[in-house]
Structure 1
Amino acid sequence: MHDHDTSERLASFADVLAGELPDNWTSSHLPPEAKDDLADLADRIWDLDLVAASLAEHPLRRAAVLSRPDGAQLVVLDRHGVRDGFLLAAVAPRALPDEAYRAVAEPNGVALPDDPFLSAEQVAGDLLPRYDIALAQARANALEGIQPSRPDRVVLTWQQDGSVATASVGDSAGAVLEQHGFLRDPQSGIYRFSGDDTRAQGRALREIGPRLDALGIGTALHHPGTRTAPTSAPASLPPAPAVSRAPASKAR
């Protein structure tokens, strides 16, 4: 089978599967040319079993992503060595810090037949319930480590993985955060800026202060275990807590 035909088969299967799952799922296709998106997706696949083993031998070259309005995502992958079948895995949200996943059981993926109707029944009765439980636990864990914000003040909390997060901010403040690179988890309301690029993170923190101040909203930077330091416009980025960096392909 030609690579183009295989890719079309994957995309078509995912489209039908999305329409058969409970709730409102949409499907999008990532072709081999979308290398950056595929690399990001591979890092967020929430699996330590069947799918992880497959990715260890066969790097992700294409995928179909199923998305639900609350931020939940599933990914459909080729099942190498099996002509009539696919793999399906849960995807961890970008906007949650790494420590949110500690002590949360991975919602490991499943193998599916080349029948989207039978597959939808299998996913709805197995993977989806496990994924929803894991998502709820991770989102609750993330909120425990974040200081609450107020309508007139955004509290930004350093996370152990070097990211900065905030929650419960109004629409105006949220728009400013998203314009400066913060990612929002739609279910928990957490806004997070990863610590992977500290220069970009520092620039964002310096720039959002004056933007929020112009809206009458103060900002504060909080290190867990210390008092919150209010400021309307941070002039420079305070040092982040020392963290040990995990490899890019970390386990959830």
Structure 2
Amino acid sequence: MHDHETSERLASYADVLAGELPGLWTSSHLPPDAKDDLVGLADRLWDLDLIADSLAERPLWQAAVLSRPDGAQLVVLDRHDGRDGFLIAAVAPRALPDEAYRGVHEPNGIALSDDPFLSAEQVAGDLLVRYDIALAQVRHQALGGIQPSHPDRLVLTWQQDGGVAAAPVGNAADAVLEAHGFVQDPQTGIYRLGADDTRAQARALRELGPQLDALGIGTVLQHPATRTAPASAPAVRPAAQPAHVTSSPRTR
């Protein structure tokens, strides 16, 4: 089969597969001439089994990338072992520290048939389940010292660079954070407010408390032991006994 026909076949298959997976997925095709993108993608394939063995025999020369709005991605690949069907692999999140992957099992890829409808059921019941679990684990571990928030309580944590960070609570609270200059990291979901303008930061913190209180959400300010909060942020109340995250040693 000619390369052009192979590319069209892969792209069409991935389009149908994306439309059949649970949730909202979109598909994009990386052709052979997108060499830099393919190299970068190959480095992020979250697999130490079937897909890794396949790429050891032949580098990634084209791919179809399935993307979900929360940043999750799957990659559909051609098979080059003479068998029918395709391969599909999960993609590791961008820019997370190695420590976030320690102790997390790779959501290794699987082989798919030529039927994208049956394959969608297989992906949804197998790879996607393992991928979502692994994503949740690494994103949680990437939080570091940032305490998780709860539906009725937003926890703000001072950062060593002077910024403030918070785990998401829900759409209403998240909208308040964004309205006051917090920016969400698309991979971890963490909201961060920088310290470039300390007056604007203090004003945002003063205004957050009353607005969140009106939504029935309390606000707690977490103070690391190495930093004290400035006196200009009285609208949020510090935790009396900040919780500490402990974890056992993890290996990637």
TM-score interval (norm. to shorter): 0.5 to 0.7
Q: Which has the larger radius of gyration?
A: 2
Deviation at 1:110, TM superposition (A): 0.1
Deviation at 1:152, TM superposition (A): 9.3
TM-score computed with the length of structure 1 as normaliser: 0.66
Deviation at 1:213, TM superposition (A): 4.0
Deviation at 1:104, TM superposition (A): 0.6
Residue identity in the other structure for 1:67: S
Identity of aligned residues (%): 66
Using the alignment, how far apart are the partners of 1:3 and 1:217 within structure 2?
58
| Mapped contact 2:147–2:155 kept (Cα < 8 A) | no
| Mapped contact 2:156–2:166 kept (Cα < 8 A) | no
Is the counterpart of residue 216 in structure 1 residue 215 in structure 2? no
Using the alignment, how far apart are the partners of 1:108 and 1:151 within structure 2?
34
Deviation at 1:44, TM superposition (A): 1.1
Residue identity in the other structure for 2:87: L
Flag structure 1 segments of 5+ consecutive residues without an equivalent: 158-164, 193-207, 219-224, 232-250
Counterpart in the other structure of 2:112: 112
Counterpart in the other structure of 2:43: 43
SS at match of 2:111: strand
Counterpart in the other structure of 1:155: 159
Is the counterpart of residue 74 in structure 1 residue 110 in structure 2? no
Counterpart in the other structure of 2:174: none
Deviation at 1:27, TM superposition (A): 0.7
TM-score computed with the length of structure 2 as normaliser: 0.66
Counterpart in the other structure of 1:240: none
Using the alignment, how far apart are the partners of 2:90 and 2:190 within structure 1?
20
Counterpart in the other structure of 1:203: none
Flag structure 2 segments of 5+ consecutive residues without an equivalent: 149-153, 169-176, 204-223, 231-250
- 1:141-195 deviation digits (Å, cap 9, x = unpaired): 11134478x99986257xxxxxxx96549425445xx8xxxx531xx41379xxx
Using the alignment, how far apart are the partners of 2:199 and 2:82 within structure 1?
58
- Measured on the aligned residues, the alpha-carbon RMSD in Å equals 3.4
- 1:55-94 deviation digits (Å, cap 9, x = unpaired): 1121111111111122211110111123521110111111
Residue identity in the other structure for 1:155: Q
- The 1:33/1:184 distance shift into structure 2, 3 A limit, reads same
Counterpart in the other structure of 1:143: 143
Counterpart in the other structure of 1:236: none
Deviation at 1:34, TM superposition (A): 2.0
SS at match of 1:71: coil
SS at match of 1:215: helix
- The 1:156/1:5 distance shift into structure 2, 3 A limit, reads farther
Deviation at 1:215, TM superposition (A): 3.4
| Mapped contact 1:96–1:190 kept (Cα < 8 A) | no
